[in-house]
Structure 1
Amino acid sequence: MNAIVTQIGDLADAGERMIERLRRKAFLPESRKGLNVRFGIAEAAQLLGCSTNRIRMAEEDGRLPPAPAADNGRRLGYTVGELLHMRQVLGASPARGDSDVPAVIAVQNFKGGVGKSTVTTHLAHYFAVQGYRVLVVDCDSQATTTTLFGFNPHFNITREETLYPYLSIDPTQSDLDYAVKPTPWPNVDLIPSNLELFDVEYELAAAGSDGGSVLAARFRKLKKGLIELAGHYDVVLLDPPPALGTISLAVMQAANALLVPLAATTPDFCSTVQFLSMMDQVLQQLAGAGIAVDYSFVRLICSKFDGNDPSHAMVRAIMEQSFGPALLPVPILESAEISHAAMRMMTVYELDKPIGTAKTHKRSRANLDEAMGQIEQLVRQGWGRVAPADEAVLYAG
């Protein structure tokens, strides 16, 4: 092995050590991610869809524990866990009914840099704040989503804790229960990933002449495993690799809804068109092979949108003309608060106080609530809880 190749390995090792140092610094004192965010009574009432007086009355008559307070008597605010308990007591849980099919949403684009993992994690935390039970499945060997949930894929996660033992040529697991990990969010679980998950791609590529039947079996197996798990959740979010491979194809088939993030640049628009064209061909081939794919919705969401950049506005207008109502009307705004939170391996929903200015934080959080809320409405529409919006016929010219 020559010196340059060795240098690549040294660079990777140095980078992994730095990631671990950053993780330990971010999650002191136990080097483990925590959740310190609290909600005041006004925000809690808004989330629960009730009045502050109703919460106070429930506390006074003993249905809810007394409001947590500091030594000076000032209310500390409610934790996510306390909010979940309040939802149960006050009948404000948004959970699906027994006959409602869990939403299994693939957040997919073959173009890197569109914020796929950031969108997935923020969407998971948004659903958590709203009171849903969420499972996040990191199917990408780059494991960005796993990192954002506070795990170091190199140091904390082994191959046996990923999808690998279930999807490999010689599986050692017959279901996915082994891989589910709790997160700091009491109503969010994670199936993590790491670089070794890519071994599945190598194994299936080496399957030889029997590769077709092996691939078909893997597609059906991932869907079967996720269906078994999904019964414990309201929403399952899948973060597949940003490339067309075995795992991406399996995710496409396992999902029952598709969300495509794309940035407001011409290269991202062109790449996404290619992605959609490729998906169309692949889905037709899967259907021809007897592998059914059925989505309750397919939507595109513009991410990293800068409203002050004329080029972003121009590209977004092109998106609207091209994709019509399939493009969600509210984009995710480019925000320093999202970037600063990501530096701390967090989302905006995990911040117990603004990193930048209070105004920037409030604007970012309001935008995320509105953007993520669009997807919540689609999920609830699928359960018959929300009347479908009037939509024009998707322009296909």
Structure 2
Amino acid sequence: MTAVSAYKSDSEESIAKITRHSHLLAAQLQSLRSQMYPPEAKKSLKTFTSREAAAMVGIAESTLRQMSLDGESVAPELHGRDNRRRAYTLTQINEIRAHLAQKRPKEALNFLPRRRPGEKLQIVAVANFKGGSAKTTTTVHLAHFLALQGLRVLAIDLDPQASLSTMFGFQPELDVDENQTVYGAIRYDDDLRVPLREVIRKTYFDGVDLVPGNLELMEYEHETPQAIARGEGRGEGMFFRRLRSVINSVEDDYDVVLIDAPPQLGYLTLGALYAATALLVTVHPAMLDVSSMNQFLKMTSDILHVIQENGGDLKHDFIRYLLTRHDPHDVPQVNIVALLRSLFGADVLAPAVVETTAIASAGLEKKSLYEMARGAVGRDTLNRALESVDAVNQEVLNHLKHVWGRP
């Protein structure tokens, strides 16, 4: 056998092996999902106690109970041996919020803090080059947090690896067909393009809709240079304007759009940066990660200059760096955090997401901390993790409210 034929044989064997492994893993993941979420193999959100529900709405627990007795609110589910434990779904909590906002118009924003007329849609892109910077984890936790506050959220998975879609219970290679990602709405061939509304999916988490992702998104990276070479895509059809344009088509339906950008500076990421009204850059405070972020910032700066020179109007309401997986007892990490804060000042979010086994455990179950049942991990561990994530998400929400002109 010649050297050439030997290499050819190896190549064919590798293709067969990789294909077989892909099919095996996909089947196993489907089996695991069916075991985790029977019988429909779909995720569902936990219910909330009357105390939790009252705190979320912003009223006393006794008021919530009286509203239920008076028939003024939805009837909770009853649990326990004597049917005295009340449980509310997030959908029911949002119905109570809407009722109170209508009943007490002066306090409406406290109960239901959705966008008012004249307040612009907030589009937050979560981005970085470096894998492991908790980009997807940040996106899903922020989406869940905002929805728990009563906001309407659209999450867009721009990453071909589709980790965000997986967190919402979709297996990309099985549940997301051709033309069912954002690619279907921004592709260049007019005959096959679909409205963004057609690829938006409701999720089990009330208040959060999703545009899922899969490997189909790579087609946009391949087709864009060809479209540019052909002179296609001018005006609103230019590659960096297409994503913002389709988001504008559903603007009235949401308060916040979150974009989980790919971990590379391709055409999809550039579209996300241009569409965004705000940018969150996740960074793990380790030297390699910070060096990678430096390259990300340099390349982003260079390319955004090119976009601006070609008529792209780039204005972000805020750009913030979010420290993730931070170990406050790790001296090198503490030093890097101090360095970043000295360089960027208030552009680094004051709270950081701490390194914790609770987030790792939640990830194994494809859940955020907000979905974890008490007892799934140690109570103190879960509470510390929630305090950390809540503090970060609340600061982001404060920035959004500031843009909306709210105190």
TM-score w.r.t. the length of structure 1 is 0.92
Query: Gaps spanning 5+ residues in structure 2: where?
Result: 1-10, 102-110
Which stretch of the first structure deviates more once superposed, 262-271 or 9-18?
A: 9-18
Identity %: 30
Name 1:101's counterpart in structure 2: 120
In structure 2, C-alpha distance between the alignment counterparts of 1:354 and 1:347, rounded to whole Å: 15
In structure 2, C-alpha distance between the alignment counterparts of 1:370 and 1:321, rounded to whole Å: 21
In structure 2, C-alpha distance between the alignment counterparts of 1:300 and 1:50, rounded to whole Å: 34
Asked whether 1:46 is paired with 2:55, we answer yes
In structure 2, C-alpha distance between the alignment counterparts of 1:56 and 1:208, rounded to whole Å: 61
Q: Larger C-alpha radius of gyration, 1 or 2?
A: 2
In structure 2, C-alpha distance between the alignment counterparts of 1:126 and 1:346, rounded to whole Å: 13
SS of the equivalent of 1:206 reads: helix
SS of the equivalent of 2:47 reads: coil
Asked whether 1:157 is paired with 2:176, we answer yes
Give a deviation string over 1:219-262, Cα, whole Å, max 9, x none: 22211110121220111001111111111111111111101111
What is the correspondence of 1:326-365 to structure 2 with a 5 Å cutoff? Answer: 326-365=347-386
Asked whether 1:59 is paired with 2:68, we answer yes
Which residue of the other structure, out of 87, 98, 101, is the alignment partner of 1:77?
87
Which residue of the other structure, out of 178, 192, 195, is the alignment partner of 2:215?
195
SS of the equivalent of 2:239 reads: helix
Query: Gaps spanning 5+ residues in structure 1: where?
Result: 387-397
In structure 2, C-alpha distance between the alignment counterparts of 1:7 and 1:315, rounded to whole Å: 43
Contact 1:205/1:211, CA 8 A, preserved across alignment: no
Asked whether 1:378 is paired with 2:399, we answer yes
The amino acid of 1:278's aligned partner reads M
Give a deviation string over 1:98-149, Cα, whole Å, max 9, x none: 2111110000111111011111011101111111111001111110000000
Which stretch of the first structure deviates more once superposed, 196-205 or 11-20?
A: 11-20
Asked whether 1:111 is paired with 2:135, we answer no
Asked whether 1:182 is paired with 2:191, we answer no
Relative to structure 1, the CA distance from residue 207 to residue 99 in structure 2 (aligned partners, 3 Å threshold; closer, same or farther) is closer
What is the correspondence of 1:215-226 to structure 2 with a 5 Å cutoff? Answer: 217-226=238-247
Name 1:315's counterpart in structure 2: 336
Give a deviation string over 1:183-232, Cα, whole Å, max 9, x none: 00121100001112111111223336236856962322211110121220
SS of the equivalent of 1:77 reads: strand
In structure 2, C-alpha distance between the alignment counterparts of 1:174 and 1:10, rounded to whole Å: 33
How far the C-alpha of 1:69 sits from its partner, in A, is 1.7
In structure 1, C-alpha distance between the alignment counterparts of 2:41 and 2:205, rounded to whole Å: 17
Name 2:318's counterpart in structure 1: 297
How far the C-alpha of 1:55 sits from its partner, in A, is 1.8
In structure 1, C-alpha distance between the alignment counterparts of 2:148 and 2:159, rounded to whole Å: 25
In structure 2, C-alpha distance between the alignment counterparts of 1:148 and 1:25, rounded to whole Å: 16
Name 1:324's counterpart in structure 2: 345
Contact 2:359/2:368, CA 8 A, preserved across alignment: yes
Contact 1:306/1:334, CA 8 A, preserved across alignment: yes
The amino acid of 2:276's aligned partner reads A
Contact 1:34/1:184, CA 8 A, preserved across alignment: yes
SS of the equivalent of 2:140 reads: helix
In structure 2, C-alpha distance between the alignment counterparts of 1:355 and 1:123, rounded to whole Å: 21
* RMSD over aligned Cα atoms: 1.8
SS of the equivalent of 1:306 reads: coil
The amino acid of 1:227's aligned partner reads N
Which stretch of the first structure deviates more once superposed, 295-304 or 174-183?
A: 174-183
Which stretch of the first structure deviates more once superposed, 45-54 or 337-346?
A: 45-54
Name 1:243's counterpart in structure 2: 264
In structure 2, C-alpha distance between the alignment counterparts of 1:366 and 1:317, rounded to whole Å: 21
SS of the equivalent of 1:236 reads: strand
Name 2:20's counterpart in structure 1: 10
Name 1:166's counterpart in structure 2: 185
Which residue of the other structure, out of 123, 126, 147, is the alignment partner of 2:166?
147
How far the C-alpha of 1:66 sits from its partner, in A, is 3.9
Contact 1:142/1:195, CA 8 A, preserved across alignment: yes
In structure 2, C-alpha distance between the alignment counterparts of 1:226 and 1:159, rounded to whole Å: 20
Which residue of the other structure, out of 293, 301, 322, is the alignment partner of 1:280?
301
In structure 1, C-alpha distance between the alignment counterparts of 2:74 and 2:42, rounded to whole Å: 28
In structure 1, C-alpha distance between the alignment counterparts of 2:248 and 2:187, rounded to whole Å: 19
In structure 1, C-alpha distance between the alignment counterparts of 2:118 and 2:77, rounded to whole Å: 37
SS of the equivalent of 2:349 reads: coil
TM-score w.r.t. the length of structure 2 is 0.90
In structure 1, C-alpha distance between the alignment counterparts of 2:355 and 2:115, rounded to whole Å: 32
In structure 2, C-alpha distance between the alignment counterparts of 1:11 and 1:62, rounded to whole Å: 56
SS of the equivalent of 1:86 reads: helix
Give a deviation string over 1:242-296, Cα, whole Å, max 9, x none: 1111111111111111011111111111111221222222222111100112111
In structure 2, C-alpha distance between the alignment counterparts of 1:55 and 1:325, rounded to whole Å: 39
